[in-house]
Amino acid sequence: MSLARFIAKKFFESAITVFIGVTVAFFLFRLLPGDPTAAFLDIRLSPEAKLKLIEEFGLNKPLWEQYFVFLANLLKGNLGLSFVYQGTPVTKLIFGPKLVNTVVLMGLGMFISALIATFLGLIVGWNRGSKLDRITTSVSYMATSAPIFWIGLLILLIFAGYLKLIPASGTVSVELIEADPLTRLADYLWHLVGPLIVIVIYFLPSYLLYVRNTVVGILGEDFIMVLKAKGLKDRAILFGHLLRFAMLTVVTLLALQSPLLVSGAIITETVFGWNGIGLLLYNSVLKSDYPVIQGIFILTIVVVVVANLLADIIHALIDPRIRFEGGRR
């Protein structure tokens, strides 16, 4: 299979998954107990907004017709109006500062975790059985067993409660809204520290264990012995040859664990009051803001599918065998 055909096939599969996801989202939110239009209409909306929605989404038509109208509207980026945020369009609410906040938090968190995991995993795997290995492995196991929200609460207790080093909640300090950009950026970063530490603690242990185990597995392979026999220094084998495997492992994990990204965002943003998509979803659930829940639901499926698609493509580029065997897994 050529690379282009492989990518086309994966792209097609991803599109189908997204389509199924959108369909599930549509019917799930129509099966609400009570009024089938509850997914779009609510007493919290103004009468004019309601009429406009009935018109736009064909809410007086049969369900199957509504489904196609829904798909057409989705392509136009129309997902209805939020019940809570004074009828703000859902897409405007999602694709705004909130998404930026989430991307900053999760992106930085995953990047830092991947970076540490790759290098520490290499070193620990290379020295397997050493004291460093045993300590790192057991600490990682403990960390994967601890619930993420509890770690968040502990960090708040220690650094916000006792030491008063980080703010207890939020994304920006209210009194600095008018300040100059640099002060605001510093303030933003100051708020970011707590949630960022939690995200790193959330991702790092499983990445680290995975890289370590991959490295340990590879160390038993013949080519390592050949490299050693060739007289290569340890450092050259580690960073010249093993690093590639470690990076490949991390790329796979980033994609495979992308559903965790969503739970991580929901919980961490809730604990720290970080004004992102996770917190928006949580508040929308509490306030039954169905259009927003539905929108975020679709967004998260797209994110996960795209992450997997990217991983497949990167894999195919790095390792040509995959193209012939039909993909990861």
Partner 1 sequence: MSYEHLNVANLILTLLRYRTFTLGLAIIVFIGIIAALADTIAPYSPTEFVAGGLEPPSPKHIFGTDDMGRDLFSMTVYGARVSLVVGLLAALLSTVIGTSIGVLCGVVRGFVDAVVMRIIDFMLSLPYLAVALAIVAFLKPSIWIIIVIIAALSWITTAKVVRTHTMSVMGNAFVEAARAVGAGTGRIITRYVLPNVSPMILSSMALNVRGAILFEAALSFLGLGDPSQVSWGTILFYARRAGAFVLGAWWYIVPPGLMIMLTVLGFTLIATGLDEVLNPRLRTT
The residues in 164-203 that bind partner 1, with binding defined as CB under 8 A, are 168
Cβ of 98: how many Cβ atoms within 10 Å? Answer: 21
User: Of residues 146, 185, 236, 318, which one binds partner 1 by CB under 8 A?
Assistant: 146
Q: Closest separation between CB of residue 315 and partner 1, Å?
A: 16
CB-CB contact of 242 with 223 (8 Å) = no
Let me know: does 73 contact 277? Beta carbons within 8 Å: no
- C-alpha span between 91 and 49 (Å, rounded): 16
Report the C-alpha gap between 42 and 26 in whole angstroms: 17
Q: Which is nearer to partner 1, 93 or 262 (CB)?
A: 262
**What's the number of CA atoms in the CB half-sphere (13 Å) around residue 191?**
24
Whose Cβ is closer to partner 1: residue 146's or residue 318's? Answer: 146
How far is residue 149 from each of residues 102, 103, 135, 204, 217, measured CA to CA in Å?
Answer: 17, 19, 24, 16, 33
Taking CB under 8 A as the rule, does residue 17 contact partner 1? yes
Rounded Cα gap, residues 93 and 10, in angstroms: 31
Which CB sits closer to partner 1, 2 or 145?
Answer: 145
Q: Is the dihedral of CA 85, 88, 90, 91 positive or negative?
A: negative
Contact string (CB under 8 A) for partner 1, positions 286-315, x = contact: x-x-x--x--xx--xx--xx--x-------
Contacting partner 1 within 220-259 (CB under 8 A): 258-259
Which of 4, 12, 33, 325 is close enough to bind partner 1 by CB under 8 A? 33
Enumerate the H helices of 220-320 as residue ranges: 222-229, 234-237, 243-256, 258-272, 277-286, 290-318
- Binding residue (CB under 8 A) for partner 1 from 12, 62, 75, 145: 145
CA 39/CA 253 separation, integer angstroms: 35
1, 9, 21, 184: which one binds partner 1 (CB under 8 A): 21
Residues 254-283, one symbol each (x = binds partner 1 by CB under 8 A, - = not), give ----xx-xxx--xx--xx---------xx-
Residues that bind partner 1 (CB under 8 A): 13, 17, 20-21, 28, 32-33, 129, 141-142, 144-150, 153-154, 156-157, 160-162, 168, 258-259, 261-263, 266-267, 270-271, 281-282, 285-286, 288, 290, 293, 296-297, 300-301, 304-305, 308
